[in-house]
C-alpha cells in the first residue's frame, strides 16, 4: 500500500498553483500567508518547489511564466482567434480603511455592493466594477484601468507583438461559486504606468 499524498496529473500541486497565482499578482510571502492561512515557511517551501520544478531561479520568472493549471476553465477554453480590446471592466482604488470605505460607497454614494474578501471590496457602477483595496499608503498611488477581453492569453500575445511589456502572466484571481473564473494580467503603458486586461472564463457544462 502506497503512503503519502496521491499523485497529481499536473506539473504543480493544487497548493503550489494557489501560491503561484498570488505570486503572479504581486503579493509578498507574508501577504500570501495571511490570505491563505499558511505559515510563511510553507509559502517559501511551495515557491522553492516551483522554482526547482520549472527550472527557474527567481520570483520574476514565476510571475511571467504562462503555465495554466489543467483543471481550470481557461485551460480547456477554445481560443477566440481574434483580439479586440474591450470596454473598461474594472477600476481599482486604494483606501486606508476598507470597512469605512465600503460603508461610504454603499450608503452615501448608493453603489451596489457585490462582494468583499478580507481587505478587498467590490461595487457595481452600472456595469463597471469598482475594486477597493486597503493599504497604509493609500493616496500615494493611482487608479488602475482594467480592460475586458474575451481571450486573455491571446490578448497578451497580441499586445506583446506590439511591444507591450507585461508585468506578469495571466493568472486566476478568483473562482466564483458557479465555477466562473476571473483572470487578469498587468502591463505597462508608454509611460510605465500599470494597466490590466481581465477576462471571465466560464466552466464548460
- How do residues 50-89 score in pLDDT, each as one tens digit? 999 999 999 999 999 999 988 888 888 767 667 888 899 9
CB 52 within 8 Å of CB 93: no
Q: What is the CATH number of domain 74-201?
A: 3.10.180.10
Task: Between 178 and 205, name the one with better pLDDT.
Answer: 178
pTM here is: 0.77
| Confidence tier at 8 by pLDDT (50, 70, 90) | low
- Same fold? 14-65, 74-201: no
Give every strand in the sheet of 181-188, ordered side by side: 112-117, 120-125, 128-134, 88-95, 144-148, 194-201, 181-188, 171-175
Q: Find, among 60, 36, 56, 38, the residue nearest to 48 by Cα.
A: 56
Q: Find, among 89, 188, 199, the residue nearest to 152 by Cα.
A: 199
Domain borders along the chain are: 14-65, 74-201
Mean pLDDT across 111-137? 90
**CA–CA distance, 122 with 173 (Å, rounded to integer):** 13
- How do residues 31-56 score in pLDDT, each as one tens digit? 999 887 889 999 999 999 999 999 99
In this structure, what C-alpha cell is assigned to residue 63? Answer: 510571475
Q: What is the CATH number of domain 14-65?
A: 1.10.10.10
Hunting for cell 476598507 — which residue is that?
98
pLDDT score recorded for residue 6: 47
Amino acid at each position: 500500500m502506497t503512503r503519502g499524498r496521491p499523485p497529481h496529473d499536473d506539473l504543480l500541486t493544487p497548493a503550489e498553483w494557489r501560491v503561484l497565482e498570488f505570486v503572479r499578482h504581486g503579493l509578498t510571502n507574508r501577504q500570501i500567508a495571511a490570505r491563505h492561512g499558511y505559515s510563511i515557511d510553507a509559502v517559501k517551501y511551495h515557491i522553492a518547489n516551483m522554482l526547482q520544478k520549472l527550472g527557474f531561479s527567481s520570483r520574476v520568472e514565476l510571475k511571467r511564466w504562462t503555465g495554466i493549471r489543467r483543471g481550470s476553465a481557461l485551460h480547456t477554453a477554445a481560443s477566440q482567434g481574434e483580439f479586440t480590446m474591450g470596454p473598461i471592466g474594472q477600476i481599482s482604488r486604494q483606501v486606508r480603511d476598507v470597512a469605512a470605505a465600503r460603508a461610504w460607497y454603499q450608503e452615501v454614494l448608493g453603489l451596489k455592493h457585490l462582494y468583499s474578501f478580507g481587505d478587498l471590496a467590490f461595487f457595481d457602477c452600472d456595469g463597471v466594477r469598482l475594486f477597493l483595496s486597503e493599504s497604509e499608503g493609500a493616496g500615494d498611488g493611482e487608479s488602475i484601468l482594467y480592460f475586458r477581453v474575451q481571450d486573455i492569453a491571446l490578448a497578451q500575445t497580441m499586445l506583446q507583438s506590439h511591444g507591450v511589456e507585461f508585468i506578469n502572466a495571466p493568472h486566476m484571481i478568483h473562482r466564483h461559486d458557479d465555477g466562473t473564473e476571473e483572470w487578469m494580467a498587468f502591463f505597462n503603458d508608454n509611460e510605465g504606468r500599470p494597466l490590466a486586461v481581465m477576462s471571465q472564463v466560464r466552466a464548460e457544462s
